[in-house]
Amino acid sequence: MNICIVAGGTGGHIYPALALASKYYELGHNIYYIGNESRMEAKLVRDKTPYVFLSIKNDGLRKGFVQKVKALLSQIKAIKDSRNHLKKHKIDIVIGFGGYVTFPVCIAAQRLNIPYFLHEQNAIPGKANLYVEKKAKGIVVCYEKAKGYFKNKNTVLLGNPRASEVVDAQKNDDILFDLNLNKQKPLIYIVMGSLGYKPFYKTFIEMVLANNMSNYQFVISTGVRDISEYEKEVSHLQHVNFYKFVDQVSILQHADLVISRSGATSVAEIMASGVPSILIPSPYVTNNHQFYNAAECVAFNAALMIEDKDVTSENLFNLIQSTMSNQKLLETLRFNTQKVAFKESRHNIIKWIDESIHG
């Protein structure tokens, strides 16, 4: 089949899309990826995959009358360009993973009578998926809560493809050597999203300077933010290590505890890795969806959560200490991750799509 994948804007949409695409590609299907030329999907797909990238240009809805008019006008050309791409490459099915680039592609598929499916990664669905859900052949969600937002009767809970990709990844022991880590010492991995979050790093540094925590080793993935001003303050602490980027799948295989934002992809990777976690939802995202992602995990006793407003040096220290010293809690969290991990997500989604098309 000729399969068109569409996702854009953030890694939370793009990485699950690429995870499903890779499985389809392994099975011998042709993969086409439609995305915005100016967004991160263009570089990711062109540089790191064998898929054909097809570009369109559209804008998301923003505040202000003029901006809204521009965004609406951009959809008209985007729908036309999407239609041309789908016809030229004789696309058999479209699978949209959200981001505003999904809207014009699904509308074009609808007009060409090409079946399209949607995947919603978050507990609170995004606008693009909600706009085009009515005519979708089916919708996959990752949380039971998300089901309640869709009217489409063919909405199923099959999880995030990124989870099963993590499960399938080979264990990488080299990362311990590469990062000069001690196998015998508990490893706490910290990641606050791909952009990082300076206020948290400041709080973290206050914590490690005020308390002797040398019985742990910390690896902090800072993302694109420059935090060299903070790193200098802890350069003398050998057990604290800042890195701009870390191979997250590999480090999760060795972590004893993760402290993380609760974006959809991060949660999927953490749950699939079976690592105990403290989730700190970002309050700066649409519909506060990270809070609800984390709350779903907490409901299964698969993670702990502390809200951003409650993160102080003292609170963070106490939570880390109480968690790491409680082996029964760690074992419970580790065991319960499997309840929300959806380790066979890719296989099950592909099987369900095939059944939905062929009956």
For the chain, what is the domain count? 2
CB 209 within 8 A of CB 233: yes
**Do 41 and 105 fall into the same domain?**
yes
Q: Which pLDDT band, with edges at 50, 70 and 90, does 60 fall under?
A: low
More confidently predicted of 244 and 325:
325
User: What three-state secondary structure class fits 248?
Assistant: helix
Q: Are residues 304 and 349 in the same domain?
A: no
Tell me, yes or no, whether 199 and 259 share the same domain: yes
Do 200 and 103 fall into the same domain?
A: no
126 and 9 co-located in one domain: yes
The pLDDT value recorded for residue 195 is 73
Tell me the two tokens of residue 199: 């206020």
Question: Which pLDDT score is estimated for 65?
Answer: 53
pLDDT of residue 66: 55
pLDDT for 101 equals: 93
In whole numbers, what is the pLDDT of the chain averaged over residues?
Answer: 92
Alpha-carbon distances of 101 from 62, 81, 174, 339, 344, rounded to whole Å: 14, 12, 38, 32, 27
Tell me, what's the pLDDT at 70?
67
Residue 58's SS3 state is coil
Q: Would you say 279 and 262 are in contact if contact means Cβ atoms under 8 Å apart?
A: yes
128 by DSSP, 3-state: which?
helix
Nearest to 227 by CA among 204, 249, 202: 202
Answer yes or no: do 213 and 118 share one domain.
Answer: no
Same domain, residue pair 128 and 25: yes
CA 287, CA 283: separation in Å to the nearest integer?
Answer: 9
Containing structural domain, residue 287: 168-341
CATH number at residue 135: 3.40.50.2000
Whether residues 17 and 103 share a domain: the answer is yes
What pLDDT is recorded for position 196?
78
282's tokens: 């970002």
* pLDDT(62) > 70: no
Element (H, E) at 30: strand 30-36
Q: Cα dihedral angle (290, 293, 296, 302), rounded to 10 degrees?
A: -100
d(CA 264, CA 240): 27
Per-residue pLDDT band at 37 (split at 50, 70, 90): confident
pLDDT of residue 61: 56
Residues 337 and 347 in one domain: no
Neighbours of 87 (CB within 10 A): 12
Confidence of residue 303 (pLDDT cuts 50, 70, 90): very high
- Please tell me whether residues 211 and 151 are part of one structural domain: no
Q: For 261, left (φ over 0), alpha (ψ -120 to 50), or beta? A: beta
Do 111 and 206 sit in the same domain of this protein?
A: no
List, for residues 73-119, the tens digit of each pLDDT value.
778 899 999 999 999 999 999 999 998 899 999 999 999 999 999 99
> What pTM does this model have?
0.90
Query: Which amino acid is it at 15?
Result: Y
What is the C-alpha separation between 308 and 306, in angstroms, rounded?
7
Contact between residue 329 and residue 145 where contact means Cβ atoms under 8 Å apart = no
E strands present in 19-135: 30-36, 52-56, 93-96, 116-120
In the predicted model, is pLDDT for residue 68 greater than 60?
no
100 & 140 share domain: yes
pLDDT for 255-293, tens place per residue? 999 999 999 999 999 999 999 999 999 999 888 999 999
Please check the confidence at residue 221 and state whether its pLDDT lies above 80.
yes
The CA-atom distances, in angstroms, between 11 and each of 30, 53, 265, 270, 347 are 22, 16, 7, 15, 21
